[in-house]
Every structure is written in structure tokens, then in C-alpha cells.
Structure 1
Amino acid sequence: MKLIILDRDGVINHDSDAFVKSPDEWIALPGSLQAIARLSQADWTVVVASNQSGLGRGLFDMATLTAIHAKMRREVAVAGGAIDAIFICPHLPDEGCDCRKPLPGMYRQIATRYDVDLAGVPAVGDSLRDLQACAAMGCVPWLVKTGNGIKTMAKGGLPEGTRVADDLAAVVDVLLGEA
């Protein structure tokens, strides 16, 4: 199985310091839906792993998050792709869970769900915590310059082996070129 793990906000859609709190606020980044479609059409399994502390903060409820994800899946499907699963951490940063990135709990859940070792699996994020979580499980971290990516790159301290690309479409260009 060819598996890829994507962060949501800042990788697939525009991020917001005020959180994406409704389907109307979820707006795909240019080229991201087509990039996911290209992966799907090349028999990749696309999984999303996303911190969603807006749930714990009471900014939106699970029904709203489900509606946001339904919109994302619909738009990906219209582009010709599919997202196989979405993993979320609903917890606040100080709740001490192991699923909130930068901890690797969500990635462990993905490994269990698909019964795979994540060593070498590409994982795409726009923040240091995305890269730290995936690197802890042996994934190949990819930093995109969309979302918080440029700020993340400027701060430095990226996990060893981090690859950098302009956006998700550029990551997919490389991955499909290497296949």
C-alpha cells in the first residue's frame, strides 16, 4: 500500500488563527484538491491527521466538524480523488493526551488502523509539530510553504530528513515522479 498522511489546515485548506469553524470557512488551497486526486488516481491511500482543539475550546461541535470534513471530501471527490480516513485530536494543548501533535499518538492510530509500519511513509505538514509527530514514527516529513510553512522554515529546528516543497501539488509532483 502506498500511504500518505496529510495535515489539514495550511496543507489542504487555508488556515486561520481564529480556527476554521464552519463549512463556509473551509476553503481549499489552490491545487490541493487536484493534488489529492492525482494521488488517488495513482493508487495512493490518502489519510488526514489534524489537531482540532476548536472542539475542546467549544468553538464548534462534532456535527460541525463532520460537516466541514464532508465538504472537504465532496470537493476532493469532484476533483477525482478520495480521502480514505480522517484522524483528529479534539483535545486542548494542556490536556495531556498522546494524540495531539507534536506527540505521535494519531500516527500510531493510523499505523494500527492500516496495520503498517510508517517508516518511510510521506507525511505533509506546515508546522513543526506536524513534522515532529510524523518523524517520531519514522515517516518522511514534508514541510509545505503554505499555511504556517514559511514561518516554520524560518524558525529552523526541522527534523532530520525534512523535505521542503512550495505546496501539496509540488510534493505530489515529486512523489509521483519517484514512483
Structure 2
Amino acid sequence: MDTTGEEDDDDRLLLLVEDDEAFARTLARSFTRRGWRVLHADSLSAVQAVLATQHPTHAVVDLKLRGEANGLACVRALHAFDEDLLIVVLTGYASIATAVQAVKLGACQYLAKPSNTDDIEAAFARTEGTDAVELTQRASSIKTLEWERIHEVLAETGFNISEAARRLGMHRRTLTRKLDKRRV
């Protein structure tokens, strides 16, 4: 866990929960250039260690983390720490099921990768829902429904591929191929 940036602006303290070091460094640099103080954690235990000494105002949480817990557990811990903390979940494995769970656990927004600093700052600004979103007339396809069900089961199993494949009634390699085929 690193602290970068200036120490004077406590209302812009960002906790970045990301296990990809290169992506975390890039995002931290971008936020630092915009005047944010940035803290970094790569797991739930690292998040808890940061919260013991710091009080972030905003958080960006990657949904899929290596190790003992996924990003949803981090969202839950952050929201329990401070209900006013603005949390954006950022993921390369977007699905309706995980988006709903993230919001239920306390996230204010859910973004699919690739997202940049502008997208994340805009998400922090959109803490209230709006009815101005355009509704689509197109029904969901079978492939979309399958994709959403796969991600729902993945979230239920803590992103354990073998267990998810067992629950979905398919071979692990088949599930892996489906996930590799349709990266978001």
C-alpha cells in the first residue's frame, strides 16, 4: 500500500483497490496529476490495513482480485467503514448480476473496463439515479442471458472457475473458453 500525492486535500483521498500493479500505477499517476491523494491496496486485508490508519473519501475497486476475497467483499468492507464513501467498481468481467450486487453492497457506480480517469471521476459525480437513461427496444439474446448467468454463478463462487463450471453443468475448459471468447 503506497501513498502518493500531496497531503493537503483530505476531501480527495482515493483508495485504489487493484491487484494489477501496472494498471494501478497508471491510474494512480493519472489521479495524482488531477490533485488527488492516492492510496493503493491489492487485497481485502490490505484494504483493512489502510482503513486502520486512513479515511478515504472515494474508492475504485476492481471486481476480480487474486487471493482470499473478490472486490465485492472489499466494497462491503468499505461501505461498512463509511456509508458516505463513494465507491466505483471497475471490472473487465461486467455482468448485470455483479453490478446489482455491487450497488446493493454500497457501490455508487459500476464501470466496465476499459475506463479511464475521466469515466471514473464522472461516475463519482453521478451518485443519484436518473430516469433520463434511454431504454432499448431490443430484447436480450440467448447469448447475453447465458453470459449474465455465467457471471452470476462466478460471483456466487468467488470467481472460482472450477466450482462455477460444476454449478453450471459444464466442463471447466468449456467455461474458460467462453470467458476468453467474450472479454468485456
TM-score calculated relative to the size of structure 1: 0.44
Q: Which has the higher contact order (CA 8 A, sep 6+)?
A: 1
* Structure number, greater radius of gyration: 2
More helix per residue: 1 or 2?
2
